[in-house]
Structure 1
Amino acid sequence: MSTVCVDSAKLIADAARVQCDSKGGHDTWKKVYKYKGYTVSWMQSPENLEALQTFEVKDDDIFCVTYPKAGTHWIWEIISLLLAEGDVTKLDRSVMNTMLDLTLAPSPELAQYATPGYKTIETFPSPRVIPTHVMEPCFPPQWKTKKPKVIYFARNPKDLLVSFFHFAKDSVDPEFSTWEGFMKLFLSEEVPNGSWFDHVLRYWKHKDEPNFLFLKYEDCHKDLKSSVAKVAKFLEKDLSDDVIERITELCTMKGMKQTYDQIEDKYQDAGKMFTHLFGQLPFLRKGVVGDWKNYFTPEQNELFDKYYEDKMAGSGLTFDFEL
C-alpha cells in the first residue's frame, strides 16, 4: 500500500512540473461544477462535498477554516505549534497541503491517482488539525452535535484578492488571468469556492458559540503574541510565556519563511511539495497588510468599496485595510 501511495504522489508531482513548464500554470480552476448553488472547482468536487455530509467528526478535532489565500498556512502553523508546545520538530510536514474538502491533483485526469483530503484526514491521530476552505452550508453536520474546536481565520478582501490573483492567475481561463479580469471574477457569484462575502458572513454568525473562534489576519499582524495567546486559551493549552514567545517568533512571516527554507533545504524537491502547491505555487508570498494599494486603481477601489459596503451592511463585521 505504501508503495502505491509513493508512486501516485510522484506521478502527480511529475505531471505538475510538466504542466507548469508547458502551460505556465495548472488546470485547477478551469473546470468547475455547481453544488448547492455554489461554483466549485473539480478539486473541491461535488463528490467531496457530498462525502463531508457523513464525515465522522471527533470531539477533540480542531478545524481551521479559511477562504483561499486568507492565511491558511499561518493559522495552521500557529495551531500546530501550540499543540506541540513550541517544539517545531514535532510537526508533521507531510500533511501541510492536506485539505478536508480538496483532492489535490494538478488536473482532473490525475485526480483518480490522488486521495481526497477527507480520506487522508480520517487516518490522522487525535487531536486532528483539519484545514478546510469549505463553505458553511457544506461543513460536516456533526460539528453541531459533537464538540470540535472551529477557528475561522479571516483576511480583508482587498489583500486577499491580490494574493489570490498571484496564486491563481495562471490557472484560470484567459479572460480572468489579468488583474482586471480576476477582480471581476472575484466579485461575481461564479468564483470557485463561492463568494468571499457569503463565506465570511455565514461563519461570522457563529462567532458567539463557545467552540468557535473568529480570528482576523490583520489582528495577528497588529499583535501576534496576543493572538497566539488567544488561540492557546481557546484550545485550552496552558503554556508558559516563554513558550508563547517562542511560537510567536516562529510564526512571524520572517520566522515562517525561514522554517519553509529549512524544510526545502532538508528535503530538496520533496520539501517544495510541502511548501508549494504541487511543488510549484508557493503558499507564502508577502504576507503583509495594505499591498492592495499597489494594484487597485482609484476607479477599481471605488467600485470595490461600494460593493463591499452593500454586502457587509448590517453585519457588524469590519476589517482593517491598512495598518
Structure 2
Amino acid sequence: MDLSSYSGDDWVDHSVHGSVFYDGVKFNALVIPSSLEALKTFDVREDDIWINTYSKSGTHWASEIVHLILNNGNPETIDRTTTQGNIEMIYFEKDSYDEGKTRHLPFYKIIERAPSPRIIQTHLPVKYLPPGIDNKKAKVIYVARNPKDVITSLGRFVGNTKMGDFIRWQGALKEFMDGTRSYGSWFDHVKISWNLRHQENRFFIKYEDMKKNPWDAIESIANFLARPLSEDILEKIVKYSSFKEMKKTYTKVEEEGKVELVKAMGKYAYMNKGVIASWKTRFTVSENEEFDRVYKEKMADTDLQFDFEHGLFTLVLQSAAPRVDLETFTASLYTLSYRSKNCTSFVLKEPSKLEGKGLFKEEERNLERAWLEGKGEGWSDRRGRDSSTMDLSSYSREDWVDHSVHGSVFYDGVKFNALVIPSSLEALKTFDVREDDIWINTYSKSGTHWASEIVHLILNNGNPETIDRTTTQGNIEMIYFEKDSYDEGKTRHLPFYKIIERATSPRIIQTHLPVKYLPPGIDNKKAKVLYVARNPKDVITSLDRFVGNTEMGDFIRWQGALKEFMDGTRNYGSWFDHVKTSWNLRHQENRFFIKYEDMKKSSRDAIESIAEFLGRPLSEDTVEKIVKHSSFNEMKKTYNKVEEEGKVELVKAMGTYSYMNKGVIASWKTRFTVSENEEFDRVYKEKMADTDLQFDFE
C-alpha cells in the first residue's frame, strides 16, 4: 500500500511486542490506545458495513462474503484496502516485525480515506465502537462462533505467527474462561451483540449456521444489506467464499503484495478450515468438564445457544409413498457421502429445531412420516443447489447391460474401445433424433470436449455456471461409466444413449462414430452436426498420451499404435475414411465442418462461425466470455470443479483430465522419428489422393 501521502503526524511510535491495556482490558500488540481514543469521534458513514467478531470467529470469511455480494460474485474486482487490518490496529507492513520497526500508521487513518461503501473489520466489544454507527444507522454484521472452537483456533493461530509474546494453550484456556484474554471476555462480547440483534442496522449470525448452510447464510446477509442475489451470483459467492477458493485468492493477493498482514503474520495465519467441533481434538476430558461448568454459569442469563457438535444432514434417497429411504450423516460425512448417492432430494435437517418444536425425534420412521406429511420447519430443500452423481434410480432393470470394460469390442468388422457395446450401435439405428439436437462428431482426440464446451457456452450466453452437462458425460455410443467402476470391477452398466433419450432439449450429443453408424434421423430431422477434424499426426500423438494416462482397457502403445493408425485398424476405424466422409457432406445445410487448427489459430472466428451455423448470433461481450471460458486454462478450472462435485464421472474413471491437453499444433514433432514421419507421409499421400481436404501440420 502506498503510504507516502500520510504526514509525519499520522504515524505513531509503537512496539509490536507484548500486550496493550486500555480501560482495564488487554489487547494484542497491534492495537494502540490512541486508536481506541480516536474511534470515539471517528466519522462513520451511512453506507459503512462493519464486520464485528471476537477473534477466530469467521472475520475474513464474512468479510469476503460481503465483498463478493457488493461485487456480484467477482473476486477480481474487490478492493481490499479496508480489510488489510482491523480498524483498531496499526497497518502492519510486511517485515515490520523482523526489521524491528517501531513507527507505524494507525489503520483507522487508512479507512478514513477509503471510498464508500467501506467494509470495516473489528474485534472490538460494542462499547468501544464509534457512537456514529448507531447515529448514522451504519450496518453491523456480527458473527459468533462457539467458544470451544474459538479458543482451539486461537491456540493454532498464535502458534502459527511470528508476532508477540503469546501465552500458549496451558494458560490460554484459563485466560479465556476468566475473560482476561485479548479483547476481554468472549461471554460479554457475544451476549451484548446478541441483545442488540433486533436493531434494524444490526445482523447477528452464528458461524456454525454459516458452515452448515452457506447458501442460506449468504442470502440472509445479502438481504440484510438490501442486495438481493440472483441464483447465478449466489452460486458464485458460495464457490468463491469457500475455504479452498479463499486460499487461492489470498495466495494471489499475497504474491501481489496486496495483503501485507498475511506475510507479516505468517502464511495464512488467520485462515483455517474452521471445522465445527475441532475442539474435541484439543480439549482433555477434564478441561472440557471445567469449561462446561464455567460456560453454564456465564451463559445462565441469556437464551443464546451454540452448536458444539457436528450438524446432522439427511439424504432422501427414494421418495415414493408410503416408503421413504433416508440416511443421516454428520456434516463432515455428509459432505463426503452425498455425491456418491443417487438421491431424489438433498435435505438439510437441524434436529435441535425439529425436536425443540416437538415435531419428532431421530427415529427413522418419524423422519419418514414428517417428510411425507410435509412438515417443513427445520427442513431446507437442497434441490437445484447440490449436485450428486447422475440419478439412475428411475431406469428399469431391462435398461442395464452386462459388459466388461476391459479389452476391445468389434462391430461390423470395426474395432471399438471397451466403453462401446454392440447393442448400443444397433439401438442407434432407430434412435429418436430431435430437430434441435446438436451433434458433436469427431475422431478421437480432435477437440471433442473443446467444441462441446463452445456449443454449451453459446447456448448459455457465455456462462459456464448454468451449463447442464448431462449429455456430455459420455459419448452416445458408450456406457455411462460411473466413478470407481473400473477399480470395483463392475460389469453391469447403463448405455449412455438411454440417458440422452431422456435429456431435455436442445441436446448436445457427443460421438466419435463414423457417419455410417450415426442415426438416420439426423438427416431426416435436419439435426445440426458439427464435425471437427484435426491433422492426423497430432491425433495419433495425442491418442498415445491419452491412453498412457488412463487406467482403462488393454491399449497398444506407440510402437503398434502408429502402424494401426496408418492401417485404419485402430478404434473407430480409419481416420482417413472418417474425415473424408464428413468433408464430402460439408455442403449439407445441417452440417458444419471445421478444422481444429483453424480453431486454435483464431478461436474468436471459430466461435462466431459455429454460433452462426447454430442460428445463435452473439454480442461482442458474449463472444469475449466464450473465448475466455473455452480456453484451456478456464476449461481445466471448470472440469476441476465438476470433477470435485462429481458432475463428470468419466473424469475420475479415466484419470484426472485424461481427455484434456493443450492440443498444441505440431506436437507430433516431439514424438515422430524421421523414419516414422517419412513412412506416415507416404501413407498419407496415398490415402488422401482422392480428396481436396488439406491440413496444417506446422
The answer to whether TM tops 0.5 is: yes
1:223: which partner in 2?
602
Residue from 243, 261, 286 that aligns with 2:662:
286
Equivalent of 1:30, from 398, 404, 407?
407
Aligned residue pairs, count = 299
Counterpart in 2 of 1:53? 429
Task: Report the alpha carbon displacement of residue 51 of structure 1 after superposing the two structures with TM.
Answer: 0.5
| 1:199 to 2:575 alignment | no
For 1:308, the equivalent position in structure 2 comes to 684
Give the structure 1 partner of residue 545 of structure 2: 166
Deviation at 1:29, TM superposition (A): 6.5
> Does 2:466 match 1:90?
yes
Alignment equivalent of 2:420, drawn from 33, 36, 44: 44
Contact residue 272 and residue 280 of structure 1 kept, 8 A: no
Structure 1 partner of 2:506: 127
Find 1:188's aligned residue among 554, 567, 589. 567
- In the superposition, relative to structure 1, how do residues 93 and 141 fare at CA in structure 2: closer, same or farther (>3 Å)? closer
CA separation of 1:279/1:223 partners in 2, compared to 1, >3 Å: closer, same or farther?
A: same
* Aligned counterpart, 1:137: 516
Distance 2:445 2:632 in 1: 14
Q: Is the 8 A contact 1:76 1:131 kept in 2?
A: yes
Per-residue deviation, 1:275: 4.0
Is contact 1:30–1:41 with CA below 8 Å preserved after alignment? Answer: yes
| CA apart distance, 1:96 | 3.2
Correspondent of 1:257 among 636, 652, 675: 636
* Partner of residue 15, structure 1: none
**Closer, same or farther: CA 204–276 of 1 in aligned 2, 3 Å:** farther
Structure 2 match to 1:110 = 490
Q: Higher relative contact order at CA 8 Å, sep ≥6: structure 1 or structure 2?
A: 1
Amino acid at match of 1:89: E
**Distance between the aligned counterparts of 1:152 and 1:111, measured in 2?**
32
Aligned AA (1:61): D
Deviations 1:199-236 (A, max 9, x none): 11111111000110001111011100000000000000
Residue identity opposite 1:207 in structure 2: R
Write the letter of the residue equivalent to 2:525: K
1:273 aligns with 2:653: no
Could you report, residue by residue, the CA deviation over 1:89-113 in whole angstroms, capped at 9, with x for unpaired residues?
111245432211111445696342x
1:13 matched to which residue of 2? none
CA distance in 2, matches of 1:298, 1:104: 41
Matched position secondary structure for 1:316: coil
The Cα of 1:6 is off from its aligned counterpart by: 4.4
Mapped to 2, the partners of 1:82 and 1:263 lie a distance apart of 19
Q: Distance in 2 between matches of 1:83 and 1:222?
A: 23
Give the helix-richer structure, 1 or 2.
1
Q: Residue 696 of structure 2 aligns with which residue?
A: 320
In 1, Cα distance between the equivalents of 2:679 and 2:516?
A: 29
Which amino acid is 1:298 matched to?
V
Contact 1:53 1:138 in 2 (8 A): yes
Alignment of 1:59-78 (within 5 A): 59-78=435-454
State the secondary structure of the residue aligned to 1:166: helix
Structure 1 unaligned blocks of 5 or more = 11-26
The alpha-carbon distance between structure 1 residues 83 and 93, as it changes in their structure 2 partners (threshold 3 A), is same
Instruction: State whether residues 103 and 116 of structure 1, in contact with CA within 8 Å, keep that contact through their aligned partners in structure 2.
Output: yes
d(CA) in 2 for partners of 1:92, 1:205: 32
Identity of aligned residues (%): 36
Does the residue aligned with 1:81 lie in a helix, a strand or coil? helix
Bigger Rg over Cα: 2
- Within the alignment, does 1:101 sit opposite 2:477 as a pair? yes
Task: Using structure 2 for the length normalisation, give the TM-score.
Answer: 0.40
**Aligned to 1:150, what secondary structure does the other structure show?**
strand
Closer, same or farther: CA 298–137 of 1 in aligned 2, 3 Å: same
Distance 1:276 1:183, change over 3 A: farther
Q: Which moved more, 1:87-96 or 1:145-154?
A: 87-96
Displacement of 1:253 in angstroms is 1.5
Structure 1-normalised TM-score?
A: 0.84
Distance 1:315 1:241 in 2: 37
| Contact map agreement 1:65 1:133 (CA 8 A) in 2 | yes
2:417–2:553 CA contact under 8 A, matched in 1: no
Instruction: Give the secondary structure class of the aligned counterpart of 2:509.
Output: strand
Structure 2: gaps of 5 or more residues = 1-316, 319-324, 326-339, 343-387, 390-403
Question: Deviations along 1:55-75, whole A, 9 cap, x unmatched?
Answer: 000111100001111111100
Q: CA deviation at 1:172?
A: 5.5
Kept in 2: contact 1:100–1:130 (CA 8 A): yes
After TM superposition, what 4+ stretches of structure 1 lie above 6 angstroms from structure 2?
A: 2-5
In terms of mean alpha carbon deviation, does 182-191 or 287-296 score higher?
A: 182-191
2:533 equivalent to 1:154: yes
Distance 2:451 2:495 in 1: 22
Q: How far apart are the structure 2 equivalents of 1:275 and 1:203?
A: 28
> Relative to 1, partners in 2 of residues 1:69 and 1:277: Cα closer, same or farther, differing over 3 Å?
farther
Once the two structures are TM-superposed, the CA of residue 164 in structure 1 deviates from its matched residue by 0.7
